[in-house]
Structure 1
Amino acid sequence: MLRILIADDHEMVRKGIRELIQDHPGWDVCGEAGDGLTALELALKERPDIAILDISLPLLNGVAATRRLVHECPRTRVLLYTMLDDEESVTNGLAAGARGYVLKTDSAEHLTSAISALGANRPFFSSLVSEILLETVNHRKRSRLDSFTDRELQVAQLIAEGNSNKATARTLGISIKTVESHRASAMRKAGVHTAPELVRFAIKHKLIQA
């Protein structure tokens, strides 16, 4: 039995993926989440074979969640299922450790094929994503996000989403002082000095959506 976790902040998208999985013999949904933190918690508990993540997840985006999953659940293969088809999103997602990348504009057959491929421990990319990879493989620019730690990514996203230091500390279960330290480090690495600048950086690098 192939055990699959679904994470998307839109209920109708989760419903569509769930029905596709339930219609396939030998596949089972072991958990669903509407945000990245919940998805990570479920993955650590359920240890799914495959985690299907949207990139634009609240609280912890799909790229950051992928980095955590690859480190903490190495047997779980991550499939990014998203509307984002730009070079930055694709390269960041794959650099984080995703084994598959499918666009929501692709057909349901693409998603089925991707799940089958990852279930057999093979990578899968939609045709447009493959083209982006071919164009960038020899001249990819290093992303500023590559230098961020996982915690710095979490803090930067939560702050950019409008959370205060206190709310961020409560969400992550850490002290306000620790949040302030991670926030300062993230802003330094991003090359910004104010909260509005951090928001613009987060939007540009797909940590949050505009």
Structure 2
Amino acid sequence: MLRIMVADDHEIVRKGVRDLIESHVGWEVCGEAADGQRALEIALNQSPDIAILDISLPLLNGIALTRRLRHDLPSVRVLLFTMHDDDETVSSGLAAGARGYLLKTDSELDLEAAISALGANRPYFSPSVSDLLLETVVHGRTPGRLESFSLRELEVAQLIAEGNSNKKIARLLGISIKTVETHRAAAMRKAGVHSGPEFVRFAVKHNLIQV
């Protein structure tokens, strides 16, 4: 049985993915989440074979979550299922450890093919992503800005951009306020910004949060 977790903050998307999975013999949904923190909890508890993740997840975005899963549950194969097809987001997702990258504009047949491929431990990419990978092989690539962030800096950066106070971030992540301040300073330095509004604009541009 292929056990699959689905994380997307839109219920209608989760339902569509769940219906496709449940219509396929030998596949089952072992958990659903509407935010990244809950998805991480489910993954640690259920150890799914495949995790289908949106990138724009609240609390812990899909790229940061992919990094966590690669570190904590390296056997989980991540399929990023998103509307974001810009070069930097794709590159950051694959660098984080995703084994597949599918656009929400692709068909149900593509989603089924992607799940089948990851279930057989093969990668799967949308055609536009395959073109990007070919360009990368031929011409090389410049690492995305988010790749310079540590995992904890990514987590703190997203929570800051979502409007949380240092105190609340410390509580959510189980770290001290001083540690939050240290990660906040590092994230803003790496983002090349000096104020809260500038950092929010950076977060939106790089899909750390959605508006």
Q: Same fold (TM over 0.5)?
A: yes
Cα displacement (A) at 1:134: 1.7
In 1, Cα distance between equivalents of 2:15 and 2:206: 28
| Within-5 A mapping of 1:44-59 | 44-59=44-59
Structure 2 partner of 1:140:
141
1:153-190 per-position Cα deviation (integer Å, ceiling 9, x unaligned): 00001101111111211221222121111111111121
Structure 1 partner of 2:199:
198
Which ranges of structure 2 fall in alignment gaps of 5 or more residues? none
Structure 1 partner of 2:105:
105
Cα displacement (A) at 1:86: 1.1
| Within-5 A mapping of 1:1-210 | 1-137=1-137, 138-210=139-211
How many pairs are equivalent?
210
In 1, Cα distance between equivalents of 2:67 and 2:175: 20
Amino acid at match of 1:108: E
Percentage of pairs with the same residue: 71
In 1, Cα distance between equivalents of 2:89 and 2:148: 16
Amino acid at match of 1:188: R
Report the TM-score, using the length of structure 2 for normalisation.
0.96
In 2, Cα distance between equivalents of 1:127 and 1:191: 33
User: Which secondary structure state, in structure 2, belongs to the residue aligned with residue 6 of structure 1?
Assistant: strand
Amino acid at match of 1:118: L
Report the TM-score, using the length of structure 1 for normalisation.
0.97
In 2, Cα distance between equivalents of 1:141 and 1:165: 32
Cα displacement (A) at 1:131: 1.3
Amino acid at match of 2:131: E
In 1, Cα distance between equivalents of 2:204 and 2:88: 11
Task: Report runs of 4+ in structure 1 exceeding 2 Å deviation.
Answer: 135-139
In 2, Cα distance between equivalents of 1:207 and 1:142: 17
Amino acid at match of 2:102: V
In 1, Cα distance between equivalents of 2:4 and 2:13: 15
User: Which secondary structure state, in structure 2, belongs to the residue aligned with residue 3 of structure 1?
Assistant: strand
Cα displacement (A) at 1:132: 2.0
Which one is further off, 128-137 or 49-58? 128-137
Cα displacement (A) at 1:144: 2.1
Amino acid at match of 2:147: D
RMSD: 1.0
In 2, Cα distance between equivalents of 1:143 and 1:155: 18
Cα displacement (A) at 1:135: 2.3
Which one is further off, 128-137 or 45-54? 128-137
